[in-house]
C-alpha cells in the first residue's frame, strides 16, 4: 500500500509540475531549480548570479527553508521580488507549493525565477516543481563521495556546480572522481568548478547559464 500511495503522490505532483511549465512558458519565465545540501552555498551562488545577470534579466527568487527567513532577507536587500517558502519540516518543495506562490509575483515583469530548494541531497531530487532545468551543487568541504551516495540528484540535473572551488587546496577532494562518477550517471551533465567568493570559474558557468536561459525563453 505504501508503494501505491507514493506513486499516486508523485503522479499528482507531476501533473501539477506540467501545469506550471505550461503557464510559465506562456508567460516566458524560466524557472531554475537550485539543489544542494545545507552549507553548499546555494544562496551565495544565487546572489552572485543575480549580481551578474540582473542588467539583462528581470529576476525573482523563491527561497525554500524548513523554518526561518534568513536567506530571503538577504535576497530582499538586493531589491528583487522574493517569496519565502517554509515547509514546516518537509524535506523538499512540491509543485503545488510553487503553484500557490506564483500568483505572488508579477510574472509579466520577470524573465527568470530561481528556486532555492530545501538543503537536502535526497528528497528534492524526487519532485519536479515545474522547472525548466536543475542545477545541482556540491561544495568541496562536503567531500567527493556524494555523487555515489546520492545519485538521483546528479542524474536529474543539467549542471553540476562544484562550489567553493577556492578551497580545493585545503581539502582532500578528488575533483576528477566527482566528474567521472557524475558523468557516468548522467552523460549530459555539464560540470563547473566555481567559487562565489573569488569568482573562479564563474564566467564559464555564466556563459552556459545565459545560453540555457535564452534557449528556454525562445
Per-residue pLDDT tens over the stretch 53-91: 999 999 999 998 767 677 888 888 999 999 988 877 778
Helix (H, G, I), strand (E, B) or coil at 193: strand
Please tell me the pTM assigned to this model: 0.93
Cα separation, 200 vs 162, in Å, equals 11
Are 109 and 115 contacting, i.e. CB atoms less than 8 angstroms apart? no
For 6-25, what is each residue's pLDDT tens digit? Answer: 455 568 899 999 999 999 99
Q: What is the pLDDT of residue 9?
A: 56
Helix (H, G, I), strand (E, B) or coil at 136: strand
Is 30 or 1 the better-scoring residue by pLDDT? 30
Quickly list H helices, 112-201: 146-149, 151-155, 175-185
For 156-194, what is each residue's pLDDT tens digit? Answer: 999 999 999 999 999 999 999 999 999 999 999 999 999
For the 2-217 domain, the top CATH level (class) is: alpha beta
Would you kindly state where each structural domain of the chain is located, as residue ranges?
Answer: 2-217
Amino acid at each position: 500500500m505504501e508503494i501505491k500511495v507514493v506513486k499516486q503522490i508523485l503522479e499528482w505532483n507531476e501533473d501539477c509540475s506540467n501545469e506550471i511549465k505550461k503557464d510559465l512558458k506562456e508567460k516566458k519565465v524560466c524557472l531554475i531549480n537550485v539543489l544542494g545540501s545545507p552549507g553548499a552555498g546555494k544562496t551565495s551562488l544565487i546572489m552572485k548570479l543575480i549580481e551578474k545577470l540582473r542588467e539583462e534579466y528581470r529576476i525573482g527568487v523563491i527561497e525554500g527553508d524548513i523554518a526561518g527567513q534568513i536567506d530571503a532577507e538577504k535576497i530582499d536587500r538586493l531589491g528583487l521580488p522574493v517569496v519565502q517558502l517554509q515547509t514546516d519540516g518537509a524535506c523538499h518543495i512540491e509543485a503545488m507549493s510553487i503553484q500557490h506562490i506564483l500568483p505572488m509575483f508579477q510574472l509579466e515583469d520577470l524573465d527568470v525565477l530561481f528556486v532555492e530548494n530545501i538543503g537536502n541531497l535526497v528528497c528534492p531530487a524526487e519532485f519536479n516543481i515545474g522547472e525548466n532545468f536543475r542545477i545541482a551543487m556540491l561544495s568541496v568541504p562536503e567531500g567527493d563521495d556524494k555523487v555515489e551516495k546520492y545519485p538521483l540528484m546528479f542524474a536529474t540535473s543539467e549542471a553540476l556546480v562544484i562550489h567553493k572551488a577556492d578551497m580545493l587546496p585545503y581539502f582532500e577532494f578528488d575533483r576528477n572522481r566527482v566528474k567521472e562518477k557524475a558523468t557516468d550517471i548522467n552523460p549530459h551533465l555539464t560540470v563547473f568548478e566555481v567559487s562565489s567568493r573569488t569568482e573562479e570559474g564563474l564566467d564559464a558557468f555564466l556563459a552556459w547559464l545565459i545560453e540555457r536561459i535564452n534557449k528556454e525563453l525562445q
